[in-house]
Amino acid sequence: MKLPPLEYACPASLSEAVALLAAGGGDARAIAGGQSLMPMLAFRVVAPTLLVDLRKPPELKEIRISADGVRLGAMVRWRDIEDDARLAAAHPLLKAAVEHVAHYQIRNRGTVGGSIAHADPAAEMPGICVTCDAEIAVIGSAGSRVIRADDFFVGALTTALEHDEIITEIRLPAWPANRRWGFREFSRRRGDFAMAAAALFYDQDAGGSAVNAHVGVIGLGDRSRRLPEVEAALNSQVIDEALIERAAEITSATVDAQEDIHASAAYRRSLAGTMVERALRSAAA
Amino acid sequence: MKNAFIGSAIERREDLRFLRGRGEYVDDLKPDGLLYAVILRSSVAHGRIVSIDVSAALKIPGVHAVITAKDMPGGAPIVPMRLQPLPEFKPFEQPVIAHDKVRYVGEPLAVVIADSVAIGEDALEAIEIQIESLPAVADWHVAKRDQNLLFEGPGTNRSLTFNAVRGDADAAFVNAPYVRRETFRTGRHYGLTMEPRGVMAQWDAAKGLLTVSGAAKVPFFNRRILAKQIGLPEDSIEMIENDVGGGFGARGEFYPEDFLIPFAARQLNRPVKWIEDRRENLMAMNHAREAEVDVELACERDGTILALRGHAHVDMGAYMRTNGAVGARNIAQFMAGPYRIPNVKLDVSLWMTNKTPVGTYRGPGRFETDFFRERLLDLVAQDLGIDRVEFRRKNLVARSEMPYQIATISPYLHEDEYDSGDYQATLDRCLKEIGWSEKAKLAGRLIDGHYHGIAVGCFIEGGGAGPKETARLEINDDGSISVYIGSSAVGQGVETVFAQIAADALEIPLDRIRWVHHGSTTYVSDGYGAYHSRSVVMGGSALLDAANNFKAALSEEAAKRLGCDASEITIDEDKVSGAGKSLPLAAFAGLTREGAFLNKKHTYSYGAQAAHVAVDAKIGKVDILDYVVVQDAGRIINPLTLRGQVIGSLVQGLGGAFLENLVYDEQGQLLTGSLADYLLPTASDFPRLRAIVMDEHPSPINPLGAKGAGEGGMVGAGGVIANAVANALQSFNPDLRELPLTPTRVWEMTQKKA
Amino acid sequence: MPTNFEVNGKPVSVTVEARTTLADCLRHHLRLTGTHVGCEHGVCGACTVIVDGYAVRSCLMLTAQAEGTKVTTVEGLSNDEALTPLQASFRKHHALQCGFCTPGMITTAHALLSEEPDCDADRVRDVLSGNLCRCTGYISIVEAVLDARSAYKKPA
């Protein structure tokens, strides 16, 4: 399980990194923490001829929190999110979701940018991006652009990134004080990818009703998705036990689930409903 | 001095190197001129080899050779069976490299020898191979149709059917007032070791000596196979046992690579090393466990068991490997477990399929058969309206019935008996420890969203397989003592345990036992190794014999030198005394004596296990709130390491009950090809487990009184967990007949009647 | 081009193929064979080393990515005289059998206890869930790590 033959470069700046990726055509690939890419290289399911290490450009490592929201540099590690006490208030949903990412050692190297570039359908970070209407800032030979999360994730292990583009930042919109949220995940073992997870939030209006509900599911189908039918059922309603159960039923009825060696499709649909139910219950508590 | 090292929780001596990163495993060896072997494995489950073109691979710089079956004069040798070598199995044995057909994904096709593993893997991609695909035989249900044959010669995919017989089961069933018949299935597991396998071979042409490192488990037997295959006398081959990163029955059997790497080293006249990577390990190391049984139990209405009858089917994979028949055989012989079942008739058929071949994995056949039996017992008790504990108690073999004759297995006729024990006592202790009477009140109750369930089961564990083991003691130049032993170390702590036995036998301090040399063929005249929980029983008993011979020889020699009678000689720390004088032990440096232990009988340790689980029915998640294993393993040498064996094997059993499963598709492709898919237990899965070891009933059949203890934790786990989950979900009348209990399966049980 | 970094307090300069993982570099080029390789795809944790204070999987890191870092392996956490308190605790609790996963357990536990000497059993289990052991069943490993906490607490 040795890596295929390849070259390695560690440019000091983003512009150099973009130039290297562009020159490499489709055969060059960016490496961030490497926690998803290295296993794929070991199995030789990918065989780039050049790896462009992104660890040097300093602008990729920052967590910036402002009235506009949370900006995560692409090279921010899970560990950095765990350690940043500000995020408990600035984005509690992000913080809660990241607790479920992989294991201790992986968290010490794995990055948010690497995770969303990899786009595993059962990974937490893409799910958070989709649920929270995140924007993904990227830079490439053609310049910089910002991609809506919903457009960024195309399918399983597939994104809208061009081969010479690098993710620079994930922008999560501001988190208002009256927001209620929940995150629930079930995996076979601690740290495994989700069999199903639910990430959700809603804001409470003066009358105590839910507005702006965002409900996302992870680990079902080819990518994380929001569930508009569930959101519609929640908006303008007071979240009570009956509504929570109804939300679970709608989830199970509408999610696109697939069978694999770990779970049947029917089980996954039911599980997604239960995850939404439990996340909603904790949000409403 | 009077010692009592035996029975004491002595900290292990091997830990001193392992904890500091100073162990020496086979991949840590790097002799000058070392080349690396990488193996091309079939990606097709069943097919005819049309051509293998290695020319492009040979052109890659750093590639020294590519070996295929064509390079072997006389064709690819066959790996013979070590245990139950019946003539019926002959046609199904595995060639060391495929030459006409491939029969499983992972079967060796070519060996690349290169300057590095990475270059070798580059070369794999350059080998052009054409295989004409044949329909895959994906499981035993397909195999039994005999439409697509793995082997044309025998004309069937069934290599054998074992029969286990006691009394007259058919007659007992005719008049039985109560009968229940069920079908159960277990998943496919394997004895995954944390260190993958490895072989390094060095050929010394001048001396005509082949040195093979990475040996484990049964080095002497493997040397016999290799000598014959490679055309060398046995004494021209040394098998060296390095530190071994886990055995569990799977490592150390003779595998194709155990020929291929020495062959390559001799061909190239260079040291060659092959280290299995994890992807290979999942498809090359022996698989185990996948079985299905159709079984029925006959009882009196009062719960007295009258007879057990049935037919099991084992998915053997593509070839009959060295010990491949053991699991199937044990399913037949041990389905009755520790219970008094006067009439038994069980057939077990072995079906060849296009999967990785099967071998033993810790508790072979017993994990499977204990699940079948204990699950059936709970169903029957429920039917009869009898308390499941009383049902078991009523039918356990009593102490007064020992030794107790069990079912006789044929072919390879084998009669056996349980040696000793009080099965009721371990059951009682287990119930007390788990707090059965209180916990039983929780059965089936829904508390905070979790259904609670409890279960208890009883098990036996066979150990101490013969025929023989050999040990030797020798005085070193500094007067310390070395132990040389044929038993192998696979992580179970034999250096410490044998030092304890030797120090007690010689009545000297523990630290006077300087070295314990084990496993390698260079240490004793003959050795048999580590399998069937035999190291302590057989090796320890051989060591006692060696100690007697050694003391006699030392006394005689010392008496001569000290001018006294041998009976007056005493050994004390580092000196030998007699007639008021003494000599240092160092004065006898080089004195050595061998001893042996022969045994045809088996030890049977036994015990009971109980579990308290809580099931989150909506997501199919099971939490173990408490789990107790009580095991009586006869005389305990080291309670610290014994408890380690019990808990360690229990967690492997829980892996099999909940997580582990090697899944294939209908084309014979392995779908669980990484550790992200073949799920092992981790530190957070089973935090609440307890082991209680007892030594009330030493084995009467060996001088130590010891019994095997490496498997008991595992053996009972599947049945106890299944019954605990079924007990928790009783309001759903769950259909629980198959392991592992994945979340999907647990959830499905709650859906049908919900 | 050589890669320069520090291993167990000593500077090293190695020239290896770009595709060489840090694990293979440590084992086969620097001959520090205490670091073990059990899966090469980032699951088993046997290859865990400490890089700039963080426990990481050395099979998921290129040698070149270690440039300028300080790497600590199990050898760097050991001495000749006696077992360290963490190692002694592993021995006392029989927290190892075959020893293959042990270096990864030691490096991981050391990194954890260095940062969190007050961690509880759940945290220990959570952290060690990234290190597979096939022999012990983990109970004794968790006990050993908890018992070693006192050695990492700063004197009041």
CB contact residues (below 8 A), chain B span 430-469, against chain A: none
CATH of domain A7-53: 3.30.43.10
User: The CATH number of the domain where B37 resides is what?
Assistant: 3.90.1170.50
Q: Are residues B469 and B524 in the same domain?
A: yes
Total length of chain B: 754
Tell me the residue type at C32: L
Q: Does C122 touch chain A (CB under 8 A)?
A: no
Co-location of B306 and B408 in the same domain: yes
Residue of chain B nearest C133, judged by CA positions? B194
Asked if C137 lies within 8 A of B15 by C-beta distance, the reply is: no
| B121 Cα to chain A: minimum distance (Å) | 7
Interface contact C110, partner B, CB < 8 A = no
Counted domains in chain B: 3
A261 in contact with B, Cβ within 8 Å:
yes
CATH number, residue B477: 3.30.365.10
DSSP labels, B652-688: HHHIIIII----B-TT--BS--STTTSPPP-TTT---
pLDDT at position B233: 97
Say if B684 is an interface residue toward chain C (CB within 8 Å): yes
Q: Is C135 on the interface with A (CB under 8 A)?
A: no
**Which chain B residues contact residue C19 at CB under 8 A?**
118
The whole-model pTM stands at 0.97
Interface membership of B118 toward C (CB under 8 Å): yes
A60-173 CATH: 3.30.465.10
Q: Where are the beta strands (DSSP E) in B70-219?
A: 78-79, 94-95, 101-102, 108-114, 128-133, 158-166, 178-186, 189-190, 198-204, 209-213
The residue of chain A with its CA nearest to that of C57 is A105
> How far separated are the first and last CA of chain A, in Å rounded?
49
* DSSP SS3 for B475: strand
Q: Are residues B636 and B711 in the same domain?
A: yes
Task: List all chains that touch chain C, counting a touch as 3 or more CB pairs closer than 8 Å.
Answer: A, B
> Please, what is the Cα angle at B567 between B565 and B568, to 5 degrees?
70
Chains contacting chain B through 3 or more C-beta pairs under 8 A: A, C
Beta-carbon-side half-sphere exposure of residue A181 (alpha carbons within 13 Å):
21
**Is residue B149 domain-resident?**
no
Contact B717, B685 (CB under 8 A): no
Domains, chain C, ordered by start: 3-77 (3.10.20.30), 85-152 (1.10.150.120)
CA distance B536 to B219: 17
Distance from CA of C50 to the nearest CA of A (A): 9
Which residue from A1, A103, A108 is facing C41, i.e. has the nearest CB? A1
Chain C residue nearest residue A41, CA to CA:
C41
- Cα of B404 to nearest chain C Cα, Å: 32
A7-53 and A180-284 have identical folds: no
B125 CB neighbours in chain A (<8 A) are 44
Residue A190 and residue B671: Cβ atoms within 8 Å? no
- C1 CB near a chain A CB, below 8 Å? no
Residues of C in contact with B23 (CB under 8 A): 34, 99-100
Cα R_g (chain C), whole angstroms = 15
Contact list, A264 vs chain B (CB under 8 Å): 744, 748
Shortest distance between the Cα of B646 and any Cα of chain C, in A, equals 9
Residue B753, pLDDT score: 53
Which SS3 state, helix, strand or coil, does residue B691 take?
strand
What are the tens digits of pLDDT across the range C110-150?
999 999 999 999 999 999 999 999 999 999 999 999 999 99
- Residues in Cβ contact with C32 at an 8 Å cutoff, skipping those fewer than 6 apart: B21, C7, C8, C26, C73, C75
Interface test with B, best of C24, C63, C74, C100 (most B CBs within 10 A): C100
Q: Are residues B672 and B582 in the same domain?
A: no
* C52 in contact with chain A, both atoms CB, cutoff 8 A: no
Does B660 lie in the same domain as B687? yes
- Note whether C73 contacts B: Cβ–Cβ < 8 A: yes
Q: At what angle do helices C102-115 and C139-147 cross, to 10 degrees?
A: 40
The structure tokens 């003539």 sit at B87
Measure the CA angle with vertex B548, ends B545 and B553; round to 5°: 125
Q: What is the pLDDT of residues A239-259, one digit of tens each?
A: 999 999 999 999 999 999 999
Chain B contact for C106 (CB, 8 A cutoff) = yes
Please tell me the distance in Å from C23's CA to the nearest CA on chain B: 13
Q: Is the peptide bond before B80 cis (omega within 30 degrees of 0)?
A: no
Q: Which residues make Cβ contacts (< 8 Å) with residue A58, sequence separation at least 6? A: none
The answer to whether the CB of B346 falls within 8 A of the CB of B407 is yes
Same domain, B426 and B533: no
Tens of pLDDT, residue by residue over A81-134, are 999 999 999 999 999 999 999 999 999 999 999 999 999 999 999 999 999 999
User: What pLDDT, on a 0 to 100 scale, did the predictor assign at position B2?
Assistant: 67
Interface test with C, best of B10, B14, B18 (most C CBs within 10 A): B18
B409-455 pLDDT per residue, tens = 999 888 899 999 999 999 999 999 999 999 999 999 999 999 999 99
pLDDT beyond 70 at A56: yes
Are B664 and B317 in contact by the 8 Å Cβ rule? The answer is no
Q: Which amino acid is at A124?
A: E
DSSP A162: -
From A213, A195, A197, A67, select the one nearest A128 (Cα to Cα): A197
B 107-146: CB under 8 A from A: 116-118, 121-122, 125
Give pLDDT tens digits for C2-50. Answer: 999 999 999 999 999 999 999 999 999 999 999 999 999 999 999 999 9
Which CATH code of 3.60.40.10, 3.40.50.300, 3.10.20.740, 3.30.390.50 fits the domain covering A180-284?
A: 3.30.390.50
Q: Give the 3-state DSSP-derived string for B244-284, with helices as H, strands as E and coil as C.
A: CCCCCCCCCCCCCHHHHHHHHHHHHCCCEEEECCHHHHHHH
Q: Give the amino acid at A275.
A: M
Considering the domain architecture, whether residues B354 and B383 belong to the same structural domain is answered as yes
Q: How far is A263 from chain B (nearest CA, A)?
A: 6
Q: Chain A contact for B301, CB < 8 A?
A: no
The distance in angstroms from the start CA to the end CA of chain B is: 69
My answer on whether omega of the bond before B411 falls inside 30° of 0, hence cis, is yes
Q: Which of C48, C49, C56, C131 to mutate to test the interface with A (most CBs of A within 10 A)?
A: C56
Q: At what angle do helices C85-92 and C139-147 cross, to 10 degrees?
A: 140
B187, part of any domain: no
**B147 within a domain of the structure (yes/no):** no
Partner B contacted by A249 (CB < 8 A): no
Q: Is residue B549 part of a domain?
A: yes
Nearest to A190 among C41, C67, C126 (CB): C126
Q: Using the beta-carbon criterion (under 8 Å), do B194 and C74 form an inter-chain contact?
A: no
Say what the pLDDT of residue B528 is: 87
DSSP assignment string, B176-242: -SEEEEEEEEE--EE---SSPPEEEEEEETTTTEEEEES--S-HHHHHHHHHHHHT--GGGEEEE--
Spatial distance between the Cα atoms of B729 and B5, rounded to a whole number of angstroms? 48
Structure tokens at A94: 């992000």
Is residue B213 domain-shared with residue B305, that is, in the same domain?
A: no
Give the single-character DSSP code of B526: -
Segment 114-143 of chain A within 8 Å of chain B by CB: none
Give residue B521's domain range.
15-23+465-598
Q: Looking at the structure, tell me whether residues B392 and B526 fall in a common domain.
A: no
Q: Is A237 on the interface with B (CB under 8 A)?
A: no
Residues B662 and B739 occupy one common structural domain: yes
* B606 & B741 share domain: yes
For helices B540-562 and B494-506, angle between their N-to-C axes, nearest 10 degrees? 40
Domain ranges of chain A: 7-53, 60-173, 180-284
Whether residue A27 lies within 8 A of chain B, CB to CB, comes out as no
Query: In this structure, is residue B7 part of a structural domain?
Result: no
Which residues between 647 and 686 in chain B have a beta carbon less than 8 angstroms from any beta carbon of chain A? 659, 661, 663, 671-672, 674, 676-677, 679, 681-682, 684-685
> What residue ranges of chain B have pLDDT lower than 70?
1-2, 752-754
Contact criterion met (CB < 8 Å) for B684 and A190: yes
CB contact under 8 A, A274 and B117: no
* CB spacing of B684 vs C126 below 8 angstroms: yes
User: Any CB–CB contact under 8 A between B189 and chain C?
Assistant: no
CB of B674 within 8 Å of a chain C CB? The answer is yes
Cα–Cα distance for residue pair C111/C144, rounded to 1 Å: 15
Q: Which residues of C touch B195 (CB under 8 A)?
A: 36, 38, 98, 100
- Is A192 an 8 Å CB contact of chain B? yes
Least CA distance to A7: which residue of chain C?
C18
Instruction: Sort out which chain B residues have CB atoms less than 8 A from A274's CB and list them.
Output: 618-619
Secondary structure of A176-196 as H, E, C letters: CCCEEEEEEEECCCCCCCCCE
Q: How many CB pairs under 8 A join A and C?
A: 88
- Nearest CA among B297, B324, B312 for reference residue B184: B312
Tokens representing residue A135 in the block: 């924007």
